[in-house]
Chains A and B, each alone.
Chain A
Amino acid sequence: MTTRPAGELSRRGFLNTAAAAVGLTVAGQALAACGSGSGARTGGTPRRGGTLTVATGGAKGSDTLDPMLLNSIPVSYMARVIYDQLADFGNDMEYHLQMAESIESNGTGDEWTIRLKPDILFHNGKTLDADDVLFTFQRTFSLPGAVTVGKFKAFVDLDGFTKLDRRTLRMKLLRPSATFHTALASPFKIVPVGFDPRNPVGTGPFKYKSFTPNRQWVCERFADYWNADGPSQPSATPAPPGLGPKPYLDELVVNVVNDDSARINALVTGQVDAINLLQYAQIPTIERHRELKLLESRTGAWTGIYMNMRQPPFDDVRVRQALRLAIDREQALTACLSGHGVVANDLPEPFATGYPASLVRERDLDRARALLREAGQDGVEVELVTGPVSTEAVSMCTVLADNAAEIGMKVKVRQVDTATLFGPNFHHWPFSVDKWPPQGDFLTLMALTDLSDTTTLTHPGGADLAELRGLYEQAQASTDGTRRAVLTRKMYEIQYERGGWIIPFFANVENAHNVRTAGWPEQDFPGRTFGNGHFEQVYRTD
């Protein structure tokens, strides 16, 4: 015998102890409720300099400083910190020129002239010129996995460049692209000739200091930042005049804290000044602490469920429409996002030109059932493969499955990890999910999804494809903005009536920071987090 039988510890004794333990936990909770908020402090005087330490989620071991391999959220906003673009979409998704003085096309949209602003310096002291832009294009095409290649491949002819002068580059495209300037505004970071990602040099507000994948980025203020006095993004606490040129901070330290709870703990205990990718359930915690502030913005980033329009049963438009009519968008918004988002109507790019705000889809179960019956697919069974491409990707599939059951369609949700989801079977899933950041232009997005050159997965079937492609090419050949908007709207309508995407909502992006920092942009429609990575306008108040 090693121990005495448990009878020695009487039942009453045990129950008393257990009750005491429960009581202790409850008391702890109560103490916790009292304790929070007691340390409230308000922001002090705005000041220059200092280090901003933030904790980021969403990092991976494959993260890189190469601005052409934007494969995670931190990589994507850090690229904005170190590098810059010819043109850009602001935090409100409005297009504007950035390092380019002008980007103009000829009358047919197949020849574009880019003129750079003068005296823009790289971190190594070199002045930006046309050769750097040309080099950036060449590197995009030669680097495996470069993200922008999909946008340029159909148009850019590497032999079609002419350098007109030191700051001016003319490019003859393979075919007309009236929206080429917007493709330049979606992440296309300009790097200097001979760029080496191990020693990254850009024209952004901060210089690279050190980087370890999945651990930490450290950047320091670039004193010769070209846009130091340029306009800032709208903020609830804009920097007061007299704080000098941007960036206001001396140093930026981005720590990787991928665990959601550990990240908010680091903020609550004051180890970091700001965090991103706050979970919706954590918002009340931020609200309880008076020294913490929520930074929330609606976005145009979306997670969509796609139906393979070239395979049964989704090759029948009635089945697709039935599902789109069956999903309860309000329920999805509440269940998946706790209401922190905006209902969508299966149409992406809500901020783009030509977006038809009048196309609203109401839930209609009778019509959905009738469509399914007409298609002869009553009681059909389908498998929906989903994975954590976004926090809401799995739960929205569950909502769809529940809703589909109401119209007599059996949707079996199969959950896999992202490596499996995007693994070798990626091009064979008939019914799955994908996530996209806003591109700023519906035509650009269509070229990457429904009219993609690399995959036919989300291509419409039969005549729809030809019609969509025809409209796309006409629109790309229209330098007249009004006519292009009309054609874009037609494409949106096809997408609405016959498309293969189910987009129930646009999720808000959630960040939080302490009151010792200010200047954070209010809007972040691109959804890159931390106010779209505009750290140059953030300042300390302690």
Chain B
Amino acid sequence: MQTENSEYAPRRSRRLTSRFVRWANRALSLNMVLSFLFLYLPILILVVFSFNDSRLAARWEGFTLDWYRSLLTSRSILSSAKNTLIVAVTSTIIATGLGTMTAIAMERFRFPFRRIYDGLLYIPIVTPEIVTGVSLLAFFSLTFNAINSAFHLTGDSAFRSGLITITLTHVAFNIAFVSVVVRSSLKDFRRSLEDAAQDLGANEWVTFRRITLPLIMPGIIAGALLAFTLSLDNFVITYFVTGPGATTLPIEVFGRVRRSISPEINAISTIMLIISSIFVLASQILQRRK
């Protein structure tokens, strides 16, 4: 009797367990599908409607490339695209140089309060953009007011916000991102390689140029790609430090959306999405391939 019972009991519980597991699995699968829909459906709709042959964004009327064509003839779109590229390229080059040097200094040298600097480097990454934007706006206006009144600068000769302030701002937040990425590639770097180069007659500079730099180059390029992408689509911080005539693409898009969501917006958003995706993907691949 007892053996029958003890055989029976686990069997029922096993059946219950398996039923529960099956339900749980289904629920989790469903949850995953819904999550991905929630994440990507709006983007998908945006991309699809950028090819929609209708001014009204509500209904599918047929395929067209008209909206992409009209982007190419829009003076404001072209000029803001040019501004965006100028800012992105300039700020990426400067931030990559400074960020790489910061990363090397942090990784190689022992100096007082190194841990505190270490923490300070990460803070710009987690600071709310609105805080960064407001603080930089205040900083620039205070500085420019002081300079302009000290040197009696007015009109065109006065310092004011514009592409240069945007570029400086993008450099500022990108240094942190670049140095974090470069540091991770320096962590895997074997110091004995530098010892070996010096042992064979290379001085410090030749060692850096011939051994260290080529080996951390994937990390530097990954950092640069990330910086370029972040600069390309930054809106919040840029909005605070921009000035007359210095409109970037995200700001142009925001200005147009306030009037109405037109198919051109969908088209420009699709292009930005594709460019950003390519750059982030390339950055990820470079970071993984060590």
| Chains A and B belong together in one complex | no
